[in-house]
Structure 1
Amino acid sequence: MKWFRILGLSLVAVVTGCASNSSTQDQQWLNPPMAVPLQANVQYEVQVARLTQLLQRSDLDNDVRAKMHFERGSYFNSLGMRDLAQLDFNQSLQLNPAQPVVFNQVGQYFTQIGDFDSAYEAFDSSLELDPANSYALRNRSIALYYGDRIPLAIEGMTRYYQENPSDPYRALWLYIISRQASPSEAAITLNKQYLARNNDWGWILVALMLDQVSEEQAFQAILASSRDNNVLAERLTEVYFYLAKRHQIDGDYPTAVSLYKLAIAQNVYDFAEHKYAFLELTKIFEIVRAQQAEEAKKQQEEQANAEPSDA
């Protein structure tokens, strides 16, 4: 990308501005487009304090207390306090286990920390309680993808996509998962879906994935159409995540790492793209460490097999 200069050869990459170039267009993108990172919502903090006080009452029945724990957990989640949110969700389920929405939240948490078996169990519970829960179906498919259970992930995401084929985000995730089985077929399918697109803003993300628009054009469109800082932060979170995924697919890990960090930097905690950017970074670092370990092993073997020179 024109906006990044990667220092060193390792993945300890930092965003430092654009690479030097004398053209006016490159100078225009001296730094990557950024919104003012979203700050903690004061109203959410007030609600957390209010619910904390109410939960201290001894006259609440279990159903009311369960709802309060879920509500406070949801506020914690939106404030980026996922561990506190998880504690509240667990307490809510202990009081009332018949809550598919809470199981869906718990499943996302387990996916983020890489505990995929627990994630599958939570999403299965959510779908058993509410078979029409599309969010649980999507999130379980994504968890299966990150857990390397690709056939099941494709099956679930295909069902989710078929519920609303005009949704660009469903098309994107179906492509991301399906390409693990057949990259060329997944690309052909995504291109057909793009040609039949509607006016939903999210199709520009599909265009980026397919390289149908340049990165400059995409960012110019975002900056021109996002006057509100919150909207700008949300759209940048999405575009940085999916652009990072494209570079990751191409094997450009340094650029992907920088872009995932930018997706995180907008502080849009509620978005799946923010949540899964952490998981993507972990997977990249694991791949790179494995590659480095393999290279070091080969070097040791070469040195051990080298014949001493006859001086």
Structure 2
Amino acid sequence: MSGKVRAVLMALIAGSGLLLTGCASKPDNDVQGQLLVAPVLNDYKLEMTLAKLSEILVSAKLTEEQRARFLYERGVIYDRLGLRLMARIQFHEALTIKPDLADAYNFMGIYFTQEGDYESAFESFDSVLELMPDYDYAYLNRGLALYYAGRPQLAVKDMKTFFASDQQDGYRALWLYLTEYDVNATQAMTQLQANRALLPADGWASDIVDYVLGKHNDAELLALAKKQLKQPREYVERLCEAYFYMAKVAEEQQKNHKAAQYLRLALATNIYDFVEYRYARVELANLLKAEQPAE
């Protein structure tokens, strides 16, 4: 990639905030049944970056590798804007040009999982790990595909690998717990208690773990979501995560109506690129399907 094109790409990504590290049922009376802030609107900077990338792809003289990378970056922006079909087209085109683009396989695997095409998802994540064996988020995403495909033992194996990469990450501890719960609920809770000792004493992810362990109730967790915020969007992001994990706890308590309401609230935040948003719709569909009377 030429120095000029590389500089343009890095400026676009930095400007759009992409260089980030990176969750019809009747209402229940005890649900905190309201979205506490307005849903996030699309960032105009992302839309401007999208327009600039599109201009470069049309007018700039690019190598095949550069074109594949720009297509991938445009797909990432489409994904953040919630335009999943458009994103998928970009990733597919990028892979057609550059078949060893591991990041694009990772996104395709996520989309296949959301659509319930688990075999294609497994193939995508296996391709990621063949190209980049240390790509730890591929273990998370393959574990999620296994989890939703009803293969919890294999999901646990991937989640253990993912958790081992950073044992101070509360989200990794939570997903390990959720997959282990489907294998043995009692042991999953015991393991989460042990993993809690490895996490920071305080912090938002630790607060969610404490909630799952029964140390906070719903209202307390939502109140904690307001603490130590660094920017306005962060509160909505936390609500997306909080509602998702509150739904999972409600489901464990066999309060499916309550769980469904929380999942709807998670979806109402419009935090499209969070794992909790991505799978809130899958969780909601599974709940509603389970409530349908057998034919």
Give the match's secondary structure for 1:202.
helix
TM-score by length of 2: 0.87
- Residue 117 of structure 2 corresponds to residue 115 of structure 1: yes
In 2, distance between residues paired with 1:86 and 1:131?
23
Q: Which residue of 1 aligns with 2:249?
A: 246
Contact 2:272 2:278 in 1 (8 A): yes
Q: CA 1:220 to 1:127, structure 2 compared with 1: closer, same or farther past 3 Å?
A: same
Q: CA 1:224 to 1:130, structure 2 compared with 1: closer, same or farther past 3 Å?
A: closer
Moved more, 137-146 or 159-168: 159-168
Contact 1:237 1:274 in 2 (8 A): yes
Q: Which residue of 2 aligns with 1:262?
A: 265
| Equivalent position to 1:80, from 79, 82, 85 | 82
| Equivalent position to 2:59, from 57, 60, 66 | 57
Identity of aligned residues (%): 31
Residue 238 of structure 1: CA displacement?
Answer: 0.5
Q: CA 1:225 to 1:32, structure 2 compared with 1: closer, same or farther past 3 Å?
A: farther
Q: CA 1:35 to 1:226, structure 2 compared with 1: closer, same or farther past 3 Å?
A: farther
Q: How does 1:25-174 map to 2 (within 5 A)?
A: 32=34, 34-57=36-59, 59-174=61-176
Contact 1:168 1:206 in 2 (8 A): yes
Q: CA 1:268 to 1:118, structure 2 compared with 1: closer, same or farther past 3 Å?
A: same
| Equivalent position to 1:12, from 25, 31, 34 | 25
TM-score by length of 1: 0.82
Q: Which residue of 1 aligns with 2:294?
A: 293
Contact 2:167 2:198 in 1 (8 A): no
Superposed CA deviations along residues 251-291 of structure 1, whole A, max 9, x for unmatched, are 111111100111111111111000010110111122112xx
Give the match's secondary structure for 1:56.
helix
Superposed CA deviations along residues 79-127 of structure 1, whole A, max 9, x for unmatched, are 0001100000000000001111111111111111111111111100001
Residue 33 of structure 1: CA displacement?
Answer: 5.1
Higher Rg: 1
- Residue 288 of structure 2 corresponds to residue 275 of structure 1: no
Give the match's secondary structure for 1:39.
coil
Contact 1:238 1:273 in 2 (8 A): yes
Contact 1:247 1:256 in 2 (8 A): yes
Q: Which amino acid aligns with 1:186?
A: A
Q: Which amino acid aligns with 2:134?
A: A
In structure 2, stretches of 5+ residues that fail to align are: 1-23
Contact 2:207 2:224 in 1 (8 A): no
Structure with the bigger RCO (C-alpha within 8 Å, sep 6+) is: 2
Give the match's secondary structure for 2:166.
coil
Residue 35 of structure 1: CA displacement?
Answer: 2.2
Q: Which residue of 2 aligns with 1:8?
A: none
Superposed CA deviations along residues 206-247 of structure 1, whole A, max 9, x for unmatched, are 111121112222122222433743010010011100000111
In 2, distance between residues paired with 1:219 and 1:50?
39
In 1, distance between residues paired with 2:231 and 2:35?
14
Q: CA 1:65 to 1:14, structure 2 compared with 1: closer, same or farther past 3 Å?
A: farther
Aligned length: 271
Residue 180 of structure 1: CA displacement?
Answer: 0.9
Q: CA 1:123 to 1:227, structure 2 compared with 1: closer, same or farther past 3 Å?
A: closer
Residue 148 of structure 1: CA displacement?
Answer: 1.0
Q: Which residue of 1 aligns with 2:17?
A: none
Q: CA 1:191 to 1:84, structure 2 compared with 1: closer, same or farther past 3 Å?
A: same
Contact 1:36 1:229 in 2 (8 A): no
- What is the CA RMSD across the aligned residues, in angstroms? 1.9
Superposed CA deviations along residues 49-69 of structure 1, whole A, max 9, x for unmatched, are 222222223843211111111
